[in-house]
Amino acid sequence: MSTDTSDAPADDAPADDAPADDAPSRAELAARVDELEDALAEAEGEDGKKMSIIATKGTLDMAYPPLILASTAAAFGYEVTVFHTFWGLEILHEERSKNLKLSSVGNPNMPVPNAVAALPGMDRVTTKMMEKKIADNDTATIEELIETSLEMGVEFQACQMTIDLMDYDEDDFYDGVTTGVGAATALQDMADADIQLLV
Amino acid sequence: MSAEFDITETLDVKGASCPMPVVKTKTAIDDLAEGDVLEVLATDPGSMSDIDGWAAGTEGVELVDQEEGDDVYRHYVRKTA
């Protein structure tokens, strides 16, 4: 037994308060904590709520859900984009949106059998009936919902491919509608959104 | 009529149906100042649940009271921020 043994470990052991060579300094740690707190605040931020809707249908009945949800989400403080493609583009077409049709063919909830519903002029009849119900109930019109949504900051996007396909012009749409956008824009919006809907 | 708060402004959305009561309430609240109370008069029975849900899910507003009167639903919303 040697008296040296008790001293040997003490030579190698680091002092209690001395940092190891690769340990971050106190200042570095403080900076990292600040960084993480900022990122957390950003992630938790209520202001960043987003909704993305893809509107693909242009019949009178199917034009309502995207517009009602878009304006309501805007009222909740969501940043809303509605990407209109294929027949959904009719909703943004200023003239055609005021004349959207309802079909009774293939809808078993309609009071007329399909064989009758398929007769010429029947879509016009069922559309008139629906328009009267909308007016009698003080349900907002499509035009009102679009104008209101635009005022609330909803971004309506018109699919450029469909504009070209239908041979429409940029001027055909309501003022404030975004044109010149495609699927990649919609996908980016969906990826960023808290709520994504296909209507 | 409760006397616990003063009504700053009244919004009449009688006759309007979903989503207009909520949408117009939001627009009217935006024009008020912090602490103001908006009274909303609606005939849409869905407004009871909708304005409650909207107030709960929206920053800066608080539903103070709701009353079901004679065919008219009254909502009182305070702007808190």
Q: What angle do CA A80, A86, A87 make, to 5 degrees?
A: 90
Exactly one of B7, B18, B56, B72 is catalytic; which is it? B18
- Give the span between the Cα atoms of A104 and A122, in whole angstroms: 8
CATH number given to B9-79: 3.30.110.40
Sequence spans of domains, chain A: 50-198
Beta carbons of B58 and A68 less than 8 Å apart: no
B22, B27, B59: residue with CB nearest A77: B59
- Give the span between the Cα atoms of A28 and A9, in whole angstroms: 31
Whether a cis peptide bond, with omega within 30° of 0, leads into B19 is yes
pLDDT tens-digit readout, A82-101: 999 999 999 999 999 999 99
B16, B19, B59: residue with CB nearest A72: B19
Give SS3 for A18: coil
Beta carbons of A72 and B59 less than 8 Å apart: no
Which residues in B lie closer than 8 A to residue A143 (C-beta atoms)?
none
How far separated are the first and last CA of chain B, in Å rounded? 25
Q: What is the pLDDT along chain A (199 residues), one digit of tens a residue?
A: 444 544 544 455 555 565 567 888 999 999 999 999 988 877 665 568 999 999 999 999 999 999 999 999 999 999 999 999 999 999 999 999 999 999 888 888 888 888 888 899 989 999 999 999 999 988 999 999 999 999 999 999 999 999 999 999 999 999 999 999 999 899 999 999 999 999 9
Query: Which residues touch A73 (CB under 8 Å, ≥6 apart)?
Result: A51, A80, A195
- CATH 3.40.1260.10, applies to A50-198: yes
- Give the span between the Cα atoms of A1 and A136, in whole angstroms: 106
- Give the span between the Cα atoms of A22 and A59, in whole angstroms: 66
Beta carbons of B20 and A75 less than 8 Å apart: no
Which residues in B lie closer than 8 A to residue A141 (C-beta atoms)?
none
Q: Yes or no: say if A66 and A83 are a contact pair by the CB < 8 Å rule.
A: no
Tokens read off for B59:
């920053």
- Is-catalytic flag, B18? yes
Give SS3 for A51: strand
- Tell me if chain B has a CB within 8 Å of the CB of A141: no
- Give the span between the Cα atoms of A146 and A151, in whole angstroms: 9
A60-85 per-residue burial string, b: 16 or more CB within 10 A, e: under 16: bebbbebbbbbbbbbbbbbbbbbbbb
pLDDT tens-digit readout, B16-56: 999 999 999 999 999 999 999 999 999 998 999 999 999 99
- The ipTM (two decimal places) reads 0.82
Q: Tokens 């809303």 belong to which residue?
A: A80
